[in-house]
Structures are given as C-alpha cells and as structure tokens.
A and B are shown apart, each in its own frame.
Chain A
Amino acid sequence: MTGAPSPAIASRGGAQRPVWWLILPALVLLVCFLVLPYVSIVVMSFREASTRAVYGDGFTLEHYTTVIADPFIWGIVWRTLRTGLIVTVVTLLLGYPVAYHLARTRSRWASVLYIFVISPLLVGLVVRTFAWLIILSNGGVANNALKWAGLIDRPIQLLNTPLGVTIGLIHVFLPFVILPLLGNLQAINPEVAMAGRSLGASRLQTFLRVTLPLSMPGIQAGSILVFVLSISAYVTPAMLGGSQGRTMAVLVVQYLVDSFRWPAGAALAIFMAAITLSVIAVYLRLTARAMRRLP
C-alpha cells in the first residue's frame, strides 16, 4: 500500500488540480529558443534587403515572389524532397528486417546487434561523413569494389552527386527508423503472428495482414523522423553533395553566410518549412487512415 496516496494527502497536495507552474521551465525554454527565433525569421523574411545592416527598414513580399518564380530553386526543392523520399523508403526497407529481428530474437547476441544499430550515433557526424568522402571518392573503396567485381570499367562519380548524399544520409538516419520500429514491434504480442499461422496463413500472409498493419505506428514515427531530418540535413549534403547534390539546407546557408542575403535566406527557409509541413500533413492523413483500426 505504499504506492497509493491516501485521499487526504492527495487533496492537500492538490493532486486533482494541475500544478501549472511545473511547465514554466519548459515553456521559457521553448519560447526563448524556438518561438522567438521563428518569429524573428518570419519577420526577417518580409524585410527589405540592405547592404548596411542584416535587413532594411521597409517590408516587402519581394523575397517570396522571387523564390516562387525561380525554376532553379524549384529544382533544388524537388531534389531535396526526392532525396528525402528515397532516404526514407530505403531506410524503412533496410531497417524493418533489422528491427523485426531485434524485437523477436532470444539470442544473447541481441545486445551486440543493438549496439551495432545505434553505433552510427556514437561517432561524430563530421567524422562519419569524412569516412564516406574517402569511401565514395573516385579511387575509393566503393569504386574499387565495383571495378573488382567487374561491374564497371571506369570509376563512376559518386561524390558531389545526389546519389552520394543519399548514401550518406541513409547511413546516418538508419537508427532513427530502427529504434521507433523496434519499440513498436516489441509491443506486438508474438502469439498474434502465431495465431495467424495456426489459422492457415503463410508467413507472408500473416506479415501483410497482421504484423505490418500493427507496426504502422512505428513505420509512421520512423519515416516522419527520417524524412524531416534528411530534408533539413546540412552537414552530409554540404560535404558529399557539391553543387550537383546541393539541397535546400545548403542553399539557405549559402544565402545567409556566403551572399549575406538574410531576408531572402529567411524567405527560402520559411518556404521550405511550409512545403515540408504540407508533405507531412498529407502523409499523416494517409497513414492515419491505415491506422484508424488500431487501439
């Protein structure tokens, strides 16, 4: 009876009324470091450009109209979204079997595999990307292996291409799809899949009709996480993408840092955020339909 507080203590401590001030630290943190910067970026995106300060005095819609009218920017938007989509699909396809195995195995090596899964997170991002720089270069491991296997005669260009960026991002974000899926799959009663088999369904039928629908929350969480992270990733496309593999995040930083066009850069960032939010809104609607029968 140690866990249950007596009614007297509960009412004296006000357990029924929410203790609102407990959220203050989090609220302050959010307002200072999330809401205020966002507001300042939004405001900045409507300011006139200036050569003497970060932005001028007047307000204008010019930056948005330029961004929307520019086919070059739409090209990069499309490339960024496509890269994000490919990274999300590939990490899902690669991560699902790993998560499934980890969730079901009773092997004592499971913890070793788990460490392998999260190992990309244990090394700094720049260091990892630098390793990819070496692997993907023209004389690097990837090209040498392909040549040795007789698949290619001359090295293929991997660095400074969207493909190079995609490969790098897949590696970086694989754990982000495995971990939510693992939690989700572990929560599914293994006897449910056994029940499917006992009722006459093959492994594949049982997977498609039972396990897969039940793992939709994990798929949804993991894919949104990877999609958002990969379209906003900066280090990997900046180091592996060159100009051919440039993504929106890289472009925004170029506007801000290289060309010092803060209002235009802000408009670009807001524009990208709006596109991302719409994509996710559509995706949530679609996945919510698939999950409406789940508890």
Chain B
Amino acid sequence: MTTLRLDRINKFYGAVQVLRNIDLDIAQGEFVSLLGPSGCGKTTTLRCIAGFETVDQGTIFFGSRDMTRAMPEHRDLGMVFQSYALFPHMTVTENLSFGLEVRKIAAADRARRIAAVLEMVRLTGFEKRFPRELSGGQQQRVALARALVIEPSVLLLDEPLANLDASLRDDMRFFIRDLQRRVGITTIYVTHDQSEAMVMSDRIVVMNRGVIEQCGPPREIYERPASQMVAGFIGQSNTVPGRVAGRENDTYLVETAEGPIRSLGPDGLSGEVRVMIRPENITTDPGGGTAVPAANMLAGRVVKSVYQGDGCILGIESAGGTAFTTNVRADSPLGAGAAVIIGFDARQAWAIPA
C-alpha cells in the first residue's frame, strides 16, 4: 500500500528549476533515503513533502488524499531537523508534550505516551532537563522522540546525523534503523552520506541537479548503477570507455582501448558505454602464469601504492592507458613500478550508457 506519492513534482526558484518531474511512491513502513550531493534537491523535496516549500507543478498524495496545498500542521508528519530544532525554553517533557497538547490529547494520555517514547529512545530520567543540558546525541534522540510521540503517518529526517561526531553517528544509524523497524513507521531520510543511506534504507533515491537519477534497493544502486553520476557518487568505481560490439546471453561484449571486455548491463544497450568495475572486484596478480583466470584480464603497471592500515590502495595504469584503483592486502608484494595483471569477472562489470 502506498502511503506517500509524489506525482511529477516541479519546483522553481525564480528562473532556476530545482526539482524536475520528481515521481516517487513510498510504501507503508518503508525506509527511503534521498541521497545526493548538496544542492541536488533532496532537502527541497523533503520540505515540499513537509509543506514548508510550495510545489509549482505536480501533486503530493498522502494515501489517497491530495495534500499538495495543505498547511504543514495538517499533514500529520513527524520531522527531525538537522539542527534538532528543540524548543530551548522547554524541558524534554514539554518538548514532547507540545505536539500532544496541540492535538488536545488528555493529560494522563500524554504522560503515558511521553514515558513510553522516552523509554524507547533510552532517555528515561531526563524528563526535566532542558535541551542545553543534554549532549548532542541525547538532543538528537529527544528530537526523534518528539517527532514519534505524535504517532505521525510519516517520519521525515533531514540529515539528522550530520552534526554528530563519527563514532556516535555509526551507533545512531543502527539505533534509528532499529527504532523505525520496531515502530513500523514510513520514513524518508535525507542524507549526503552514501554509507548512511546504504546501511539504513530499504530503498535509495539518488538525486542530482533536481532529478532522480536512480531509485532502488541499496544493492541495486551499488551494483547496477543507472548512470555515471550514481556510479561515481556511491562508492569507488573504475570506468573504461568503450562501444557495445555484441551480446551473448546476458553478457555484452564491449570494444575498448584495453581490448574486448565482457560485462553485464541493462537491456537494450548499444553505442557508446562505460564499463564500471568496483575496486573490490578486481584481482591483481604479479603475472608469470599465477593469475587466477577471469573473463577479463588486462596487463598493467602499478603507479602508486598507498598504505592505509587495513590494506593498501593501488593505482594501476593498464596497457591501454586506463587508470584503475583497487585494494590489496597490506603485505602484498606489489609496489610502485611492478608489472601486474588485473582480472575481473563479467558478472562484476556493469556497462552504463555513456
């Protein structure tokens, strides 16, 4: 069942189009991330859903109701802001009580719901504290509790972890994800952090310059990127330009400067393409007949090796002049200047229209 549907949303700031034909269906209980570089339109999209930005064209449906022009207070949303936006003159309890009082919930009911939510975010005992008396992580959880206590139909999160330090951020990812699963609330999460989106989401919507580049589960986004932008924005990637020469079953044969490369790709691909290979899917061998056989094997030379603690990053230039990056174990004998044979399977290469 769809709880939220964006139907061809367009938005302009003056002459600049900031959202272009945004279509999105979000199912009940789904966790969807809007991911993209700054200025891609992800926060604007969230604010359109929340009602803080007007939509110039298109429709926003909550269930079957057209809410495109509804006031924010009538949309039944919970929202967590990047700055947390807690009411500084109210205690934790009063912050949580605000939304319930506006909804005219009876006092006894309010107290019960506030206690339950505070327990859920592990803040029991902090009821009488003011926001300024809490740490960043605790404020974050109060903001989450305040949004959840009103039992909204949709939870919106606008880069809620951006202001936390790295170790806390990692904990909060799983905390929010678990909480969302337990409550079963439909959630839209805006972030520019691809690993955050990857870990938390059922589906990721990758946005760029006001359009949706790709929308799908994390695995599909990572392994089967629909465009160069997605491949480059999510994780590391190596690309080899080429031209589709033919197809056997599901494997394309791509002519490149490195010779023919076998690669998977979306149906109906032809003409100019770029073959993408993730660094972790590349095998490296010093040569001399020890190479593990793979569908694609290219000769090259190591141009740099950077020690990273848990391994080394190798920069390799192939015979055809393409730069590859891959990871090897820290004790790998491959150093700068060494000859190398790199291999990757056809199933681990993905052709993208150029």
Contacts and interface: CB of A to CB of B under 8 A. Distances in A.
B99 A210 contact: no
B46 to A, nearest CB: 11
A191 interface: yes
A195 B98 CA distance: 10
Given A191-B85, A194-B81, A195-B87, A209 B98 contact: yes
* B interface secondary structure, majority: loop
Interface stretch (B70-78, B178-186, B285-293): B70-78
Contacts of A293: 89-90, 130
B176 to A, nearest CB: 17
A294 interface: yes
A36 interface: no
A219 interface: no
B85 A195 contact: yes
Contacts of A198: 50, 72-73, 75, 77-79, 147, 156
Contacts of B72: 194, 197-198
A295 B86 CA distance: 12
A139 B89 CA distance: 52
A47 B101 CA distance: 63
A49 to B, nearest CB: 54
Nearest to B143: A195
A201 B130 contact: no
A145 interface: no
Interface in A198-249: 198-202, 205, 209-210, 213-214
B153 interface: no
Contacts of A294: 88-89
Contacts of B98: 196, 199, 201, 209
A199 B90 CA distance: 15
A16 interface: no
B81 to A, nearest CB: 4
A192 to B, nearest CB: 5
A199 B99 contact: yes
Interface residues of B, number: 30
A189 B85 contact: yes
Interface residues of A, number: 20
A39 to B, nearest CB: 42
Given A198-B77, A295-B130, A213 B150 contact: no
A295 B132 contact: yes
Given A194-B72, A199-B102, A209-B98, A214 B81 contact: no
Interface in A173-194: 189, 191-192, 194
Given A195-B79, A195-B81, A201 B88 contact: no
Interface in A7-25: none
B45 to A, nearest CB: 16
A191 B90 contact: no
Interface in B125-160: 130, 132, 146-147, 150, 156
Contact of B52 (A192, A194, A202, A214): A194
Contacts of A295: 88-89, 130, 132
Contacts of A202: 71, 73
Given A198-B50, A200-B103, A213-B89, 17 more contacts: A189-B83, A189-B85, A191-B85, A192-B85, A194-B52, A196-B98, A197-B51, A197-B52, A198-B75, A199-B73, A199-B147, A200-B102, A202-B73, A205-B102, A214-B89, A293-B90, A295-B88
Interface of B: 50-52, 71-73, 75-79, 81-83, 85-90, 98-99, 102-103, 130, 132, 146-147, 150, 156
Q: Would you list the 3 A-B pairs with minimal beta carbon distance, nearest first?
A: A199-B99, A191-B85, A198-B79
